[in-house]
């Protein structure tokens, strides 16, 4: 990631941090800054960040030796360098990064999206709506950063202050009019997004998630609602009226707010009119206006996402016909209820669901045939707690006829079976589940069991790569594995050795 320092002229800290105390200077003029002592370069402002593992105040000498010429700290340190003392260096770092990037939010119509579930789907739908209406859109989300649908970076998104400011500045340089930013809870908790100013802040739901990070549901709620503090003067909040915690927040809000919902009374409401495998017809209503939309994904949860995107687009001044066109043009959201259609006689779907409540919604929504079985690939990963895995196993057993447990990646070396045992603890009949640590083999097994009318759900990874293949180490996802296996099965059935030669064989991934 390039260093933060896009502004040619630099910035004065006194203008950005008026409450700061200066030692050794009346003000500090900054052209670039760095939050890691070992990465400082000559002339940098070194920001002494404090987190659970490290205290940057103990690395001031290292930063000075690397070339830092000024310090941003929370307490006075023993150094000859001039110091700017603030209450929280994380907040100050985010503000300085945005200022050095040229305050990109001043030149963009910005939308921030947060919530326990659905951020990526809502952001992708909104991006499609804005693009269909002729807007040039930049997006920063878990699927990657992009401009007008074109990827901006191959580096993984970690939502740090310098990364956010750099990507937004790039979007300004690419002449974007709108920016959509996913804001996960760890980004809000660490104040990395502090410098963002939003035209619309979307809070889609608050569930019992990431409590290992935040400690309690009350703390988690407090972190999520920070997004509302970053609205511009004329900014609008968009909340899910059907979500209990969001509904409780409504009387407390001091900013303009629009709501959406299916069951509760809201500014924008919707209902499912028709539903089939891989598509549904929905009606969206606001006031006396309504419109019918055909979407390529199904279920009430997806309807919620459509309503959130619609409400946000209305807040930005778009019309219902423009919104409907954008919703219908969004055919695939990578790794989110993504149907796999390779001519097979059963349903196959890839979804990122890795929590019990997400899995329960998926079982309710995704059913290829009412008489067919459900076969589920259930995934463990290191971020899950023991309690989390227990409930995952309980829901998986209730919702699926066959369950195969696997890891998020292909199995390399010795396998730790403890996470599998923790999932099995939630099952009444653990002996009926298959444990296949190697993810590729697990997906193959699930697809091989499927009969006409069955539904195979591959969950827990979504769009994320699960392995690499070939000399170029290209990234392989669950979708790639499913397609390779199903196309190979179709080739074997047809007996045509030349059939679909352009498709990689499943052997290429093993």
434: helix, coil or strand?
A: strand
Q: Which tokens sit at 152?
A: 């901006």
Report residue 45: phi and psi, to 5°: -85, 120
Is the CB of residue 86 less than 8 Å from the CB of residue 57? no
**Which one, of 211, 232, 238, lies nearest residue 114 by Cα?**
238
Least confident range of 171-185, 218-232, 256-270, 421-435:
218-232
The CA-atom distances, in angstroms, between 333 and each of 86, 338, 339, 408 are 42, 7, 10, 20
How much is the pLDDT for 2?
A: 39
Give, for 167, the enclosing helix (H) or strand (E). Answer: helix 161-173
Average pLDDT over residues 358-387: 86
* DSSP label at residue 507: G
Task: Compute the half-sphere exposure of residue 386: CA atoms within 13 Å on the CB side of its CA.
Answer: 4
Which carries the bigger pLDDT value, residue 467 or residue 421?
421
**CA–CA distance, 439 with 69 (Å, rounded to integer):** 50
Please tell me the predicted confidence (pLDDT) of residue 400.
93
366 compared with 87, residue with greater pLDDT: 87
Tens digits of residue pLDDT in 47-83 = 999 987 889 999 999 999 999 999 999 999 999 999 9
CA angle 450/453/454 to nearest 5° reads 40
The answer to whether residue 105 scores a pLDDT higher than 90 is yes
Looking at 316-453, list the stretches that DSSP marks H as alpha helix, in order from N- to C-terminal side.
320-329, 356-365, 386-399, 418-424, 439-449
* 114 phi and psi angles, rounded to 5 deg: -140, 165
Q: Which of 62-66, 101-105, 177-181, 349-353 has the lowest mean pLDDT?
A: 349-353
Distance separating alpha carbons of residues 122 and 302, to the nearest angstrom: 9
Q: Is the pLDDT of residue 265 over 80?
A: yes
- pTM for the structure as a whole: 0.82
Phi, psi of 408 (to 5 degrees): -75, -20
Tell me: pLDDT of 34 over 60: yes
Which domains are delineated in the chain? 11-89 (3.40.1390.10), 104-329 (3.40.1190.10), 338-508 (3.90.190.20)
**Residues in contact with 156: Cβ distance below 8 Å, sequence separation at least 6, in sequence order:** none
Residue the block writes with tokens 């290992």: 212
Q: How confident is the model at residue 500 (pLDDT cuts 50, 70, 90)?
A: very low
């Amino acid at each position: 990631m390039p260093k933060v320092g896009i502004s040619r002229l630099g910035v004065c800290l006194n203008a950005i941090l008026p409450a700061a105390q200066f030692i050794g200077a009346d003000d500090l003029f900054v052209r670039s800054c760095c939050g890691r002592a070992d990465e400082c370069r000559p002339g940098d402002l070194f920001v002494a960040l404090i987190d659970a593992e490290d205290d940057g105040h103990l690395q001031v000498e290292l930063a000075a030796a690397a070339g830092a010429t000024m310090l941003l700290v929370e307490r006075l340190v023993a150094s000859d360098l001039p110091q700017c003392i603030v209450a929280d260096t994380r907040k100050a770092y985010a503000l300085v990064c945005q200022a050095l990037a040229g305050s990109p939010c001043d030149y963009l119509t910005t939308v921030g999206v947060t919530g326990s579930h659905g951020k990526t789907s809502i952001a992708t739908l909104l991006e499609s709506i804005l693009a269909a209406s002729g807007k040039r859109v930049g997006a920063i989300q878990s699927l990657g950063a992009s401009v007008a649908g074109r990827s901006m970076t191959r580096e993984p998104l970690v939502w740090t202050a310098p990364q956010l400011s750099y990507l937004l500045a790039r979007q300004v340089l690419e002449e974007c009019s709108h920016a959509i930013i996913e804001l996960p809870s760890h980004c809000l908790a660490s104040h990395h997004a502090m410098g963002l100013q939003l035209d619309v802040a979307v809070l889609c739901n608050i569930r019992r998630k990431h409590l290992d990070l935040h400690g309690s549901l009350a703390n988690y709620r407090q972190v999520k609602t920070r997004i509302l503090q970053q609205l511009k003067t004329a900014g609008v909040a968009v909340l899910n009226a059907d979500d209990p915690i969001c509904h409780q927040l409504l009387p407390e809000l001091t900013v303009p707010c629009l709501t959406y919902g299916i069951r509760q009374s809201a500014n924008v409401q919707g209902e499912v009119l028709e539903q089939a495998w891989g598509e549904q017809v929905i009606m969206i209503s606001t006031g006396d206006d309504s419109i019918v939309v055909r979407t390529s994904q199904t279920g009430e949860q997806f309807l919620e996402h459509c309503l959130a995107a619609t409400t946000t687009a209305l807040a930005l001044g778009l019309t219902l016909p423009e919104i409907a066109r954008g919703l219908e043009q969004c055919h695939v959201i990578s790794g989110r209820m993504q149907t796999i259609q390779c001519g097979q006689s059963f349903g196959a779907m890839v979804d990122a669901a890795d929590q019990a409540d997400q899995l329960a919604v998926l079982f309710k929504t995704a059913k290829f045939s009412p008489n067919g079985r459900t076969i589920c690939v259930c995934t463990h990963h290191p971020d899950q707690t023991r309690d989390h895995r227990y409930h995952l196993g309980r829901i998986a057993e209730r919702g699926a006829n066959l369950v195969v447990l696997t890891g998020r990646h292909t199995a390399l070396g010795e396998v730790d079976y403890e996470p599998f045992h923790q999932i099995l603890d939630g099952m009444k009949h653990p002996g009926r589940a298959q444990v296949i640590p190697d993810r590729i083999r697990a997906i193959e097994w699930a697809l091989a069991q499927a009969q006409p009318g069955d539904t195979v759900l591959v969950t827990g990874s979504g769009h994320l790569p699960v392995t690499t293949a070939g000399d170029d180490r290209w990234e392989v996802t669950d979708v790639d594995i499913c397609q390779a296996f199903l196309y190979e099965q179709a080739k074997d059935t047809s007996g045509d050795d030349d059939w679909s030669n352009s498709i990689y064989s499943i052997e290429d991934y093993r």
